[in-house]
Structure 1
Amino acid sequence: MSSNWLLDTLHAVGIALAFAAAGYACVALWAVMKGSRKPQRVPPDPTPPRPASVLKPLHGAEPRLYENLRSFCRQTHPEYQLVFGVRDPEDSAIAVVKRLRGEFPQRSIAMVVDPRVHGANFKVSNLINMLPHAEHDLLVLADADIHVGPDYLTRVTAPLADSGVGIVTCLYYGIPGPSLWSRLGRLFIDDWFAPSVRLSHAFGSTRFAFGSTIALRRDSLQWIGGFEALRDILADDFWLGELTRRAGLRTVLSDVVVGTEVSESKLKDLWSHELRWLRTIRSIAPSGFAMTFVCFTSPLLLLGLALAPGAFTLGLAALGGGARLLLHFLQRRISDQAFAWHEVLLIPLRDALLLMEWAAALAGWQVRWRGQVLHARGDGSAP
């Protein structure tokens, strides 16, 4: 009797896992299809774009730093300033900025070198040091590894004409290097992170903000206490958006999708990077993060089949696997990157690695970031 009860329970669990994994894959595919539709064409605004200052904190000569920063120098926006900042006067990123100054003499480019530290978050300390050099009231923050198109700045600042908008932020896709681990890192962004955001947004949530882009007005920043309010917080991008939302301002997810470098060449580097992301997400939304395992399609479908073999579970596995494959294909099209059939073989490995990272993220709070060991605690602080 007890043996039959156990078998029945395992069978039910198997069906539930397969159903949850297949259901999530299908809903995520719907959300990505919905979110990737081209926006309706609207008449051009006769009002010229307002001047903007782009703040880019730097730390070392990261892969393709020159190409990525150069994309910000080639904007069609009629009037804007670039403010780069480092803490170390020997930082190798300074030479890249000097090269850009020589190549774009017509562009307003400020280079801030300031070693002052204002809190546990060195990136925010950098921004605090850079802000006095920003000349304009529209501010755009973007990480050093972001690559953008020439109309990016005009498009991401346009919603700020509405006084009810607090920040504008952008989703991003991965630009991989030649290594296997870099390609798996791209799949983390494209096939898991971006669809999860699209799904959340499709159901009405705007509780997000990404370091890829945060555009806001200077008065909004001052209203929430400036960058100083974020100086001891690890997830500074999220909390910059969250504080504006608590002030009654809206968050806009731009239709602009930017690129980000994925340069990890070793498993340990990829693991450390993604574990930091996952533990940061856990600190922001612990309850939702606990249920994130349903997003890891491949291992859950295989486990469901193992626990509940049969035609019904096999049908769920086929449905979920097909949706997962279509999601991968659609994300390649969104990022204008070629679809490679051999990458399909990486999907089960990617999902399994994510499941292991998710389990590791539940086991602690410690993260490593640019030489610092921090704790992504539940209150969002990083002492």
Structure 2
Amino acid sequence: MAYIVYSFAIFFIVAWVCLWLIHIIALSYSKWKLHRTADRSPPEQPYPGVSILKPLTGVDPNLFSNLETFFTLDYPNYEVLFCVENEHDPAVMLVNNLLHKYSHIEAQLFIGGMCVGVNPKINNMQPAYLAAKHPLILISDASIRMRDDTLLDMVQHLKDDVAIVHQMPFTCDAEGFAGVYEKVHFGTAQTRMYLFADFLGITCHVGMSSLIRRCALEETGGLAAFGEYLAEDYFMAKEVVSRGWRMRVASLPALQNSGTRSVGALQARLMRWARLRIAMMPTTTLLELLSECVPLGVGAAWAAGQLFGAEPLPFFLVHVLVWFLSDWLMLRSVQNGSPPFTKVQFLLGWVWSECCAPFVLAVALLSPEISWRTRCYRLEWGGRAHELKPKFKV
């Protein structure tokens, strides 16, 4: 019995030390990696053309201003291809207004999609992908807002052996507790694992803003090859990397700027992502739980008492305090300055985020069905999806 207790105690201490190494590496790497200024001097060779795919469904208060940033990019050769599934979608009128306003920018609207699988995003983008004329494809979600130098920064990361350059998920400034919660989550826990994975060269790819070599994508069967997955970004990166290509994170984070923010909406999104991770990599579920501050701190405090005679409560409180301070420094690094809220607001958002993380994972484990807009899916082990109530029509 004592052997089992000590084995568990050693396991928790090793996990605790490993997580703090991840903290140190990710924070140090963020200082070097993020917010580096793009080189705007004329290149020796012309920059390759980029086809930007923008899948749209519905309209929110920030959509017009978000899309407008794609017409003002400081990049010499690109086209914007908007994709709308339904001709009655209100996004059609909004896009047409932008096409008229920025008639000097090469842009098109594709309506109707093409059914190549269960993934509605892939179905929506497929006609635009087939019509894209440039060697680089930027897949960009509707909520993304771009700085004028973002595309230039991404292309400059695209070395000869790199096929994918993706932006690390982050958020624009927003008012209210939901805005604080969103920025705290994406600027701390999400950033820590994302940067650590990039530092080690591990495949960690969220496809909300991702630049891909078309030739590398065609090697895997093209965009349609990933229509059977909901987490098409993960499998796309996995297949591309398996063929000898590398992937890198851009220095500018992806600025999500949804016009409708709520705590419930963000938690539903996090649960959907957790369900996808569980289906794709079920063995990592325990490790994911141990990467959270509270579960790891409780386990490490108990282990320190068993192995070193330490008082568990003071150990746990110091662990939480140092984790909190580390996350504050990480958020400042990702924000490139002070966040748009007070330290008290950060504390409230951080406590809420940390306390909710185990709950989100537990709900994802107990309820495997995935709701995505008006659709509902069930996942198989390995990541393939089946729509429970098909609604997509070609």
TM-score band, normalised by the shorter chain? 0.7 to 0.9
Residue of structure 2 equivalent to 1:332: 332
Q: Check conservation: 1:275, 1:361, Cα contact below 8 A.
A: yes
Residue of structure 2 equivalent to 1:288: 284
Distance 1:40 1:179, change over 3 A: closer
Matching of residues 70-85 of structure 1 within 5 Å: 70-85=68-83
Which residue among 176, 187, 191 is the counterpart of 1:190?
187
Residue 98 (structure 1) aligned with residue 86 (structure 2): no
Q: Please give the alpha-carbon distance, in whole angstroms, between the structure 2 residues aligned to 1:72 and 1:21.
A: 43
| Alignment size in residue pairs | 376
Q: Check conservation: 1:22, 1:317, Cα contact below 8 A.
A: no
Q: Higher mean Cα deviation, 228-237 or 205-214? A: 205-214
Q: Please give the alpha-carbon distance, in whole angstroms, between the structure 1 residues aligned to 2:292 and 2:153.
A: 34
Q: Please give the alpha-carbon distance, in whole angstroms, between the structure 2 residues aligned to 1:90 and 1:270.
A: 27
Q: Check conservation: 1:18, 1:300, Cα contact below 8 A.
A: no
Residue of structure 2 equivalent to 1:297: 293
Residue of structure 1 equivalent to 2:382: 379
1:145-191 CA-to-partner distances (Å, cap 9, x unmatched) read 111211111221234451x2221111021236434334323322222
The 3-state SS of whatever aligns with 2:172 is: strand
Q: Check conservation: 2:119, 2:228, Cα contact below 8 A.
A: yes
Distance 1:217 1:103, change over 3 A: same
Q: Please give the alpha-carbon distance, in whole angstroms, between the structure 2 residues aligned to 1:291 and 1:381.
A: 23
* Deviation of the 1:373 alpha carbon: 1.0
Q: Check conservation: 1:376, 1:382, Cα contact below 8 A.
A: yes
Q: Higher mean Cα deviation, 274-283 or 62-71? A: 62-71
Q: Please give the alpha-carbon distance, in whole angstroms, between the structure 2 residues aligned to 1:42 and 1:371.
A: 43
Residue of structure 1 equivalent to 2:251: 255
Q: Check conservation: 2:187, 2:334, Cα contact below 8 A.
A: no
Distance 1:200 1:160, change over 3 A: closer
Residue of structure 2 equivalent to 1:346: 349
Q: Which runs of 4+ in 1 moved over 4 A?
A: 11-23, 38-44, 262-267, 302-313
Residue of structure 1 equivalent to 2:211: 215
* Deviation of the 1:303 alpha carbon: 6.9
Q: Higher mean Cα deviation, 319-328 or 148-157? A: 319-328
Q: Please give the alpha-carbon distance, in whole angstroms, between the structure 1 residues aligned to 2:232 and 2:194.
A: 18
Q: Please give the alpha-carbon distance, in whole angstroms, between the structure 2 residues aligned to 1:306 and 1:74.
A: 55
Residue of structure 1 equivalent to 2:165: 168
* Deviation of the 1:324 alpha carbon: 2.9
Residue of structure 1 equivalent to 2:323: 323
Q: Check conservation: 1:278, 1:358, Cα contact below 8 A.
A: yes
Q: Check conservation: 2:30, 2:334, Cα contact below 8 A.
A: no
Matching of residues 1-383 of structure 1 within 5 Å: 9=5, 20-21=15-16, 24-25=19-20, 27-38=22-33, 45-160=43-158, 162=160, 164-175=161-172, 177-202=174-199, 204-261=200-257, 265-298=261-294, 300-301=296-297, 310-311=310-311, 314-315=314-315, 317-336=317-336, 337-342=339-344, 343-383=346-386
Q: Please give the alpha-carbon distance, in whole angstroms, between the structure 1 residues aligned to 2:78 and 2:85.
A: 24
Q: Please give the alpha-carbon distance, in whole angstroms, between the structure 2 residues aligned to 1:185 and 1:376.
A: 26
- 5+ long unaligned stretches in structure 1: none
The 3-state SS of whatever aligns with 2:168 is: strand
Q: Please give the alpha-carbon distance, in whole angstroms, between the structure 2 residues aligned to 1:19 and 1:311.
A: 18
1:249-288 CA-to-partner distances (Å, cap 9, x unmatched) read 1112222212113566554433321100111122332222
- 5+ long unaligned stretches in structure 2: 387-394
Q: Check conservation: 1:80, 1:108, Cα contact below 8 A.
A: yes
Q: Please give the alpha-carbon distance, in whole angstroms, between the structure 2 residues aligned to 1:87 and 1:42.
A: 37
Q: Please give the alpha-carbon distance, in whole angstroms, between the structure 1 residues aligned to 2:147 and 2:203.
A: 26
Residue of structure 1 equivalent to 2:390: none
Residue of structure 1 equivalent to 2:389: none
- The amino acid of 1:289's aligned partner reads T
The 3-state SS of whatever aligns with 1:47 is: coil
TM-score of the superposition, structure 1-length normalised? 0.87
Residue of structure 1 equivalent to 2:391: none
Q: Higher mean Cα deviation, 306-315 or 353-362? A: 306-315
Q: Check conservation: 2:228, 2:385, Cα contact below 8 A.
A: yes
Q: Check conservation: 1:22, 1:316, Cα contact below 8 A.
A: no
Q: Please give the alpha-carbon distance, in whole angstroms, between the structure 1 residues aligned to 2:343 and 2:159.
A: 44
Q: Check conservation: 1:366, 1:376, Cα contact below 8 A.
A: yes
Q: Check conservation: 2:143, 2:256, Cα contact below 8 A.
A: yes
1:216-257 CA-to-partner distances (Å, cap 9, x unmatched) read 222222111011111110101111111111222111222221
* Deviation of the 1:132 alpha carbon: 2.7
- The amino acid of 2:328's aligned partner reads H
Q: Check conservation: 1:181, 1:264, Cα contact below 8 A.
A: no
Q: Please give the alpha-carbon distance, in whole angstroms, between the structure 1 residues aligned to 2:8 and 2:243.
A: 44
Pairwise CA RMSD: 3.0
